[in-house]
Amino acid sequence: MGRYVIRRLLQFVPTVLGTMFLLHYLTSVGIQFSANPVRALFGERAPSEQLLQNVAERVGLGDPCLERKGDPCLGLFADRLEGIFLHFDFGVNLRMRPVTELMADALPYTLRLVLIAIVFEGVVGIIAGVLAALRNGGFVDYLVKTSTVAVIAVPSFVLGFVIREFVGVRFGNVLRGSGLPDWVATGLFSPGFKPDYPWATLVIPGMVLGAVSLAATARLTRTSLLENIRSDYVRTAKAKGLGQKRVIGVHALRNSLIPVVTFLGVDLGNLMGGAVITETIFNVPGLGRLVVGAARSGEATVVIGVVTFLVLVYMLASLLVDLLYAVLDPRIRYE
């Protein structure tokens, strides 16, 4: 096990550097082939080269390599890495406010949202998948199969929007007239985030965020369990005279959940992408809305900084999931 952990850690470092460089290269090439984002600050007015250069340097986009198309900008890359890992500096926005400040404000909301989504997707997804597999061919199975495909096919921004309108606005209005407690009518069924109810108003957005992943989790659990039920070791367990509950609940399930758990870890990346959409629709002041807002207003440095942070978080989570996988599957430990 120790050797596996060390190997994973050693693989982790170059991968992090590689991804950081990929992000860096994508953005540098993008800037090289279009205009320097700093220009957008000046709107219609054409600033002098000197002024442009000064402003650009102050926000970290002043390196002359950004003028040369195709230059990998290694100097800039080294500076950025130094900033991130030694000073925890993710850049500044065009008004010189540190991105880390902006992120600190936004982070708690995104964390809550993602937490709700993961719990929702994990619990409901696994239960639905198990039920569908156990009653294979039955009504529950059919229901799970069709509803999951439908949910996956609907683009999440459409799904989120429709739910917001029907559940948050229409249904919410109905509830707000009736005598239900406030946290339900105004909190739970709110069409958007309200600071008065920081958790309640995030429940539905969290569920929307987790919806597609839930569908995938349910399908994966179902397929995995169905496969394992037909495996040789389950036949042996039955031959040992073990009851159905133990055969499926202990033997089959333990093996079936391994790919599901690893999927939940990988899914974190999708949740981050999805959070961008969900926060925009439900007006949650989290990291996603921050990124979209910055993208719309051309604040390239903020976009780069926040995405870099999110990618680092995702890679850390992937590493933890990899280690967890070794705990769950003994065959991996001794590779």
Show contacts with other proteins in window 97-156 (CB under 8 A). 148-150, 152-156
Q: Which of 2, 10, 13, 14 binds other proteins (CB under 8 A)?
A: 14
Closest to other proteins by CB, 83 vs 293, is 293
Task: Point out which residues pair with 98 in neighbouring strands.
Answer: 92
The closest alpha carbon to 23, from 102, 98, 105, 81, belongs to 81
# residues contacting other proteins (CB under 8 A): 87
Nearer to other proteins, 165 or 182 (CB): 165
Tell me which of 203, 215, 284, 290 binds other proteins, using CB under 8 A.
Answer: 215
In whole angstroms, what is the distance from residue 209 CA to residue 156 CA?
Answer: 8
Which of 44-52, 77-85, 176-184, 234-242 is the region at the interface with other proteins (rule: CB under 8 A)?
234-242
Work out how close the CB of 183 gets to other proteins at its nearest, in angstroms, rounded to a whole number: 25
Largest CA distance in the chain: 85
- Contact between 223 and other proteins per CB under 8 A: yes
Nearer to other proteins, 182 or 240 (CB): 240
Which residue, 107 or 200, has its beta carbon nearer to other proteins? 107
CB of 170 to other proteins, least distance (A): 8
Bridge partner list, 92 = 98
What would the two tokens of residue 182 be? 């406030």
Q: Which residue has the tokens 């499926």?
A: 248
**Smallest separation (angstroms) from other proteins to the CB of 179:** 25
| Interior/surface letters 153-173, b for 16+ CB within 10 angstroms, e for the rest | eeebeebbbebbeebbeeebe
- Touching other proteins, residues 288-317 (CB under 8 A): 291-292, 294-296, 298, 300, 303-304, 307, 310-311, 314-315
Q: Which residues lie below 8 Å from residue 7, measured CB to CB, with a gap of 6+?
A: none
- The distance of closest approach from Cβ of residue 34 to other proteins in the complex, given in angstroms and rounded to an integer, is 5
Q: Which stretch binds other proteins (CB under 8 A): 15-23, 70-78, 87-95, 184-192?
A: 15-23
Q: How far apart are CA 262 and CA 257, in angstroms?
A: 9
Separation CA 100–CA 115 (nearest Å):
21
If one asks whether residue 70 binds other proteins (CB under 8 A), the answer comes out as no
The number of C-alpha atoms within 13 Å of 139 and in the hemisphere containing its C-beta is 0
Please, which of residues 239-298 interact with other proteins by CB under 8 A? 239-243, 246, 251, 254-255, 258, 263, 266-267, 269-274, 276-277, 280, 291-292, 294-296, 298
- Residue 98 phi/psi, 5-degree rounding, is -60, 140
- Whichever of 200 and 292 has its CB closer to other proteins, that residue is 292
Angstrom distance (rounded) from CA 65 to CA 69: 8
Query: Tell me, what DSSP letter sits at residue 285?
Result: -
According to DSSP H, which parts of 34-138 are helical? 49-59, 74-87, 99-134
As measured in angstroms, the least distance from the Cβ of 65 to other proteins is: 14
Q: Are 118 and 208 in contact (CB under 8 A)?
A: no
Residue among 77 and 314 whose Cβ is closer to other proteins: 314
In the region spanning residues 23 to 42, those forming contacts with other proteins, defined by CB under 8 A, are 23, 26-27, 30-31, 33-35, 37
- By CB under 8 A, residue 233 contacts other proteins: yes
What is the distance between the alpha carbons of residues 35 and 52, in angstroms, rounded to a whole number? 12
